[in-house]
With several copies, the nearest count.
Chain A
Amino acid sequence: MAAVITKVKQKEIAQLIEKGKRLDGRGLTDFREIKIEQGVIERAEGSARVRLGRTDVLVGTKIEFGEPFPDTPTEGVLTVNAELVPLASPVFEAGPPDENSIELARIVDRGIRESKAIDTEKLCIEPGKKVIVVFVDVYVLNHDGNLIDASALAAMGALLNTKVPNYEVEDGEVKIKSGHTQLPIKRNPVTVTFAKIGGKLVVDPWLEEEQVMDARLSIAIDDDGNICAIQKGGNGYFEPQMILEAAKIAKDKAKEIRKKLGW
């Protein structure tokens, strides 16, 4: 059912990249245009919609009060979930999350978690008993390639936009009060994804590039330019030198994007 790409087009894409060019006119390390709208879902505690070219991802956050994990009794809980709804692509199917949506959610989760983007200590209400639980739901509306970077951006956009309702604790039960405070955010990680096509790296692959790529590499970079999460994907490989090259480019691109978004 997957949209199949012809051998001819495949060759064409690879040959262009060989020359440092891409079918849609971008340079090898150029992102597509990034549009971000925050607060689009009033019912959600936070939300952001990111368009990366024609790729379209909506993220909503919900706040609940629950128990901490036994091994982190003084920290709030972050739960990231991704849905590749069949509306978004002819290759997505309804049903429980498959390996692709689980991998996407876990990559987004790691970028946020490992960079310590959320100040989870501030989400503790009563150690070991009550903490704030942050649900981040990634909802893909149109898939035109590089869901990882779009989802990671939309997730951070939604978190930056998330309001925690005021509450008080009475007899061990949390009561919601009027008003709210901003979710405490410490870091703004940005994820940069590469495709390896014909021995070259290209940044932010769109759908047709993903269909011909050998392998994929996603690198999350924090505000200080440190690497905080990596995921290789796809059925190909990378030479060690290429990985180091990608890490360097990712650092620059993340800085560029963070600047552009004012993060």
Chain B
Amino acid sequence: MTDKPEKLIDKKGLRLDGRKPDELRPIKIEVGVISNADGSAYIEQGKNKVLAGVYGPREVHPKHLALPDRMVLKCRYHMAPFSVQERKSPAPSRREIELSKVIRESLEPAIFVEYYPRTMVDIFVEVLQADGGTRCASITAAALALADAGIPMRDIVVACAAGKAGDTIVLDLMDEEDKYGTADVPVALMPNLNAVTLLQMDGILSYDEFESAVNLAIEGCKKIYTMQKEAIRRKYASAKEEGEE
């Protein structure tokens, strides 16, 4: 177990892991990692390791849930029992059920749900290791899995949190900053549409601090967005290569 650190920001203004306030954790993204899924993506963000897979559009099950004018979007955010310090029971916790809902509602605005009436799209997110900010990493990965599955979308949704550690507004909170910091503001964005699709907050912020945090989170989202597009490009490049061989 990690003990409470003395300070979250040192004299030089740097964070526990040496980052500057507006610096992201190292991020690694890969698209197309689960052969059975119609689309999939994997992200490492700091020590977070998150896998997202998409199945669909497919038949709605059970049938009476089908909608005549749009697809049904389902989402399941789930943590592996070994992803956290204390073993997590495999049964969905209240937190997981809430996050499944907010993640779904952060992705749905991007999807042309009316293109595939009477179908269902399932988004499955598996957190293999958690390090603060799993909901944002999950959204970033799930949006890529949707793109990989060829689901028609207005934009690729991307997510990142900002918050307050000590007296400083910081980007992309890691576990200790999440636990011992003053506030956490996860934001999901469709960058091309300047549209916020997820916004939550925990902690205490003045209006001005909140404004700074939202703006910083949006900047973070835009940086990760570039990596998302790069990851898609790599996937298609390698697919093309394989095709040409």
Contacts and interface: CB of A to CB of B under 8 A. Distances in A.
Query: Do chains A and B make direct contact within the complex (CB under 8 angstroms)?
Result: yes
A215 B200 CA distance: 13
Interface in B96-110: 97-98, 100-102, 105, 108-109
B36 A244 contact: no
Given A43-B82, A64-B87, A239 B196 contact: yes
Contact of B124 (A47, A86, A135, A230): A86
A44 B207 CA distance: 37
Nearest to B111: A235
Interface string A69-112: 00000000000010101111110001011010011011000100
A41 B49 contact: yes
A110 B202 contact: yes
A217 B199 contact: yes
Contact of A103 (B76, B81, B83, B98): B98
A237 B196 contact: yes
Nearest to B199: A232
Interface stretch (A22-30, A137-145, A149-157, A254-262): A137-145
Contacts of A36: none
Interface string A41-56: 1111001000000101
A248 interface: yes
B59 interface: yes
A78 to B, nearest CB: 14
B203 interface: yes
B212 to A, nearest CB: 11
Given A60-B82, A62-B82, A142-B36, A229 B199 contact: no
A239 B195 contact: yes
Interface stretch (B7-15, B125-133, B226-234): B125-133
A102 B197 contact: no
Interface string B22-37: 0000000000001111
Contact of B80 (A58, A105, A114, A237): A58
B239 interface: no
Contact of A240 (B59, B102, B130, B214): B214
B211 interface: yes
Contacts of A130: none
Interface in A179-237: 215, 217, 222, 225-237
A263 interface: no
Interface string B176-191: 0000000001000010
A144 to B, nearest CB: 7
Contacts of B37: 87
A163 interface: no
Scoring B58, B95, B206 by chain A CB atoms within 10 A of each residue's CB, the highest score goes to B206
A112 B51 CA distance: 28
A227 B201 contact: yes
B200 A90 contact: no
Contacts of A244: 210-211, 214
Given A61-B82, A142-B36, A217-B199, 15 more contacts: A41-B80, A83-B80, A87-B37, A96-B91, A106-B98, A135-B82, A139-B82, A226-B206, A227-B201, A228-B204, A233-B105, A237-B190, A238-B196, A239-B195, A240-B214
Interface of A: 1, 41-44, 47, 54, 56, 58, 60-62, 64, 81, 83, 85-90, 94, 96-97, 99, 102-103, 105-106, 110, 114-115, 135, 137, 139, 141-144, 176, 215, 217, 222, 225-240, 243-244, 247-248, 251
Give 4 nearest A-B pairs by CB, closest first.
Answer: A60-B82, A230-B201, A237-B195, A44-B82
23 contacts: A41-B129, A43-B47, A43-B130, A47-B82, A83-B80, A83-B90, A86-B124, A87-B40, A87-B124, A87-B126, A90-B55, A114-B203, A137-B87, A139-B81, A142-B36, A222-B204, A227-B206, A230-B199, A235-B108, A237-B197, A239-B195, A240-B194, A243-B199
